[in-house]
Amino acid sequence: MGTSDMTNDITRLSASDLASALRDKTLTSVEATQAHLDRIAAVDGDLNAFLHVATQEALATAADVDARRQAGEELHPLAGVPIAVKDVVVTKGLPTTAGSKILEGWVPPYDATLVERIKAAGLPILGKTNMDEFAMGSSTEHSAFGNTKNPWDLDRIPGGSGGGSAAAVAGFEAPLAIGTDTGGSIRQPGAVTGTVGVKPTYGGVSRYGLIAMASSLDQAGPVTRSVLDAALLHELIGGHDPHDSTSIDEPVPGVVAAARQGATGDLKGLRVGVVKELSGEGYQAGVSARFDESLEQLRTLGAEIVEVSCPSFTYALDAYYLIMPAEASSNLAKFDGMRFGLRVEPAEGPVTAERVMGATRGAGFGDEVKRRVILGTYALSAGYYDAYYGSAQKVRTLIQRDFAAAFAKADVLVSPTAPTTAFKFGEKLDDPLAMYLNDVATIPANLAGVPGMSLPNGLSDDGLPVGFQILAPAKADDRMYRVGAALEAALESGWGGPLLNKAPELKTTELAR
Amino acid sequence: MSTISRDEVARVAALARIDLRTDEVDRLAGELDVIVESIARISEVATADVPATSHPLPLTNVFRDDVPEAPLPVEDVLAGAPQQENGRFAVPQILGEE
């Protein structure tokens, strides 16, 4: 077998299979990490999923884990399995930009809690993944450092904001990645790249060290190629953190056990609620067709399908686009050119702190960030606060009530993750509202704080992947893992393997080493 | 015709400390109307009897023990500063001087 075939085999393994091979010592972490670094070197020129590749640091971690394993040390089950981290998460010693010029070249002096946990468990960090600037977007077209391409079709978006993490995993550059989800930024990229993405219950994973967009909505979670891999990563990064006052002070739900149980394929007695408002008009025919087929699969596995109505979901997008900019305008106030990042002096006139702030933010923020900060500042300004932010918060109450009523009738709720498959670059760039509609099915979960998962459930008529969304009540993340693993097993047995096997081969650049 | 005027955009941009070019002010004046439309739809259901929810999960008084932790080393913190002087952030003039 040639070197590139070997690389191919290793990079196609799931994280849990990689972990087994490392445990059995049929593979070392240095080999696994090098194979992924080689793959990045070979395909990332086209994909642009990574903003920074941490070659030396990743190999050093891998070598350390191999030595410890050789010495017989007890290691974390995922020790030695490489991972990619979205660039909105701070990493000590590795550049962190959140996709923005205003942070270009900044190297954080501390680690996010979830990064501390990744490092403590011995997962080599391959690098930082591309994203829409400050996580504002659904396509990575708002990144200051170029678009990430969808591995299924390089002319199409990989979703956003976490398009880099999704493309890295779909393109076999990494078996695991970290995403963050404020309105769908883990789940929608998962749907359009044929990968699995999970937004845990709000507070399930610490937000300490995430560069915040909307603090009452942001949540970090796993980006993977299988439901079990997502569960393994979820248990690693989840759990209480005293550095985050909104962190849930309870044990992480048993998501790995739930995924293993689900994979046995028995859903007898489980009630699956189909959300009436998240279907029909605006949903591509192929997306709706795959959704209906998946419902049939769930029925075959023993689940009972019921229809539920959540009338307030109709207002979720409007409420989201008031709350999110309002919170973002406050969170982004810290990018003022004083303590870190870019500093730009005004072209003329006195150089005062206030004028430097204006010049720095004018030069350092991209169009979409300016748009949302100004929208949010307007919504929070004197005389408007109650009518705008206050009213939007009332809609949150209504959405929570809808969820409560729906979960009284069903154990989980389901919908298509996104209304369409991946669109072409530029198609929605000049129409912010059309762009925002991508998130219509994912936003309600963020407003209510409930967990959501997207997993691939087939290809649409255009040959592009479709995502199936599962929502569970707050702190019942394990339920969606059970259902997701059961559906995944049934679908993959029909396809004869993972959906990503149907993705086209990426052009590789021969590398000189 | 936009409900939010160019002057209003310029005023809010100044509050947000973002210098905008003239063409950016023009574009945003058109785009910010979306907020007015959103609020019109929301007001159909956001009635006086509905309480506001500020946070997805109810939390009250999150405290931790008052135990000192080691701060970050000063040199690490200043390493990312645009300008530093004598172990501190150096910033432009803050108050007006005559």
Ordered structural domains, chain A, with CATH: 3-313+397-502 (3.90.1300.10)
Among residues A185, A279, A294, A454, the one annotated as catalytic is A185
Cβ within 8 Å, pair B64-A107: no
Q: What is the pLDDT, as a whole number, of residue B60?
A: 83
Among B19, B44, B52, the residue with its CB nearest the CB of A390 is B52
Residue B96's φ and ψ, nearest 5 degrees, are -65, 140
Active site residue A245: no
- Residues of chain B with pLDDT below 50 are 1
Q: What is the pLDDT of residues A219-234, one digit of tens each?
A: 999 999 999 999 999 9
C-alpha distances in Å from residue A99, one per residue of A44, A303, A471, B85: 17, 42, 29, 29
Cβ within 8 Å, pair B34-A361: no
Q: What is the pLDDT, as a whole number, of residue A512?
A: 54
Alpha helices in chain B (DSSP H): 6-15, 22-31, 33-42, 74-78
* β-pairing verdict for A176-180 and A83-86: parallel
**Token pair listed for A414:** 């389901």
Active site residue A409: no
Active site residue A415: no
Strand pairing partners for A223? A177, A197
Cβ within 8 Å, pair B56-A449: yes
> CA-to-CA distance for A15 and A18, rounded, in angstroms?
5
Q: What is the pLDDT, as a whole number, of residue A511?
A: 62
Q: What is the pLDDT, as a whole number, of residue A3?
A: 53
In chain A, which residue's Cα lies nearest the Cα of B88?
Answer: A339
As to burial, measured by CB atoms within 10 angstroms (0-12 exposed, 13-18 middle, 19+ buried), residue B66 is exposed
Sketch out chain B's domains with CATH numbers: 1-47 (1.10.20.60)
Among A321, A322, A393, the residue with its CB nearest the CB of B53 is A393
Q: What is the pLDDT, as a whole number, of residue A7?
A: 63
Q: What is the pLDDT, as a whole number, of residue B1?
A: 44
Cβ within 8 Å, pair A374-B17: no
DSSP category for residue A147: P
Rounded to 5°, angle at Cα A131 from A356 and A192: 155
A432 interaction partners in chain B (CB closer than 8 Å): 31, 34
Q: What is the pLDDT, as a whole number, of residue A1?
A: 43
Q: What is the pLDDT, as a whole number, of residue A8?
A: 67
Q: What is the pLDDT of residues A351-381, one digit of tens each?
A: 999 999 999 999 999 999 999 999 999 999 8
- Residues of chain A with pLDDT below 50 are 1-2
Q: Average pLDDT over chain A, rounded to whole?
A: 95
Greatest C-alpha distance within chain B: 58
In chain B, which residue's Cα lies nearest the Cα of A399?
Answer: B53
Q: What is the pLDDT of residues A411-427, one digit of tens each?
A: 999 999 999 999 999 99
